Amino acid sequence: MTLLIKTLVAGAALATAAATASAQSEFTARFDYSPDASIEVTYADFERTARKACSTGRETGTMARRAILERSCVSKLMDDAVEATNLRQLQAFHDTIKGDQVTARKFAARR
């Protein structure tokens, strides 16, 4: 099966910087998956596709800004792609992964 996800990527925190004004873009990402593949394999394939689609290159400013923009893009694209599958197991897996990431960020912020 194939999902085509059209998304608008805009780094809210970066929108004010002149160097990142061109970082806003709209694109379509193609997510291919097999209903017979495991949830873990499907999720890993989706992540790989999202990372590739969200790679901004050098034109977006500093490494930190690029990392923030790419992480935001991947997160949004993964949310959209997983939801579009209508696979409850994949959605539950995604929610678990996102919960772990949020917990890790909260822990890191306390240090």
pLDDT value of residue 45:
94
Q: Note down the domain range covering 32.
A: 2-110
Task: Please report which helix (H) or strand (E) contains residue 57, including its range.
Answer: none
User: Which residues fall within 8 angstroms of residue 44, CB to CB, at 6 or more apart?
Assistant: none
Which residue's structure tokens are 């992540």?
A: 47
Q: What is the pLDDT of residues 54-69, one digit of tens each?
A: 886 656 567 888 888 8
Mean pLDDT over the full length of the chain: 74
Residues found in the chain:
111
pLDDT of residue 69: 86
At 81-111, the pLDDT tens digits run: 999 998 999 999 999 998 866 554 554 555 5
Domains contained in the chain, number: 1
Tell me the pTM: 0.68
The kind and range of the H/E element at 96 are helix 88-110
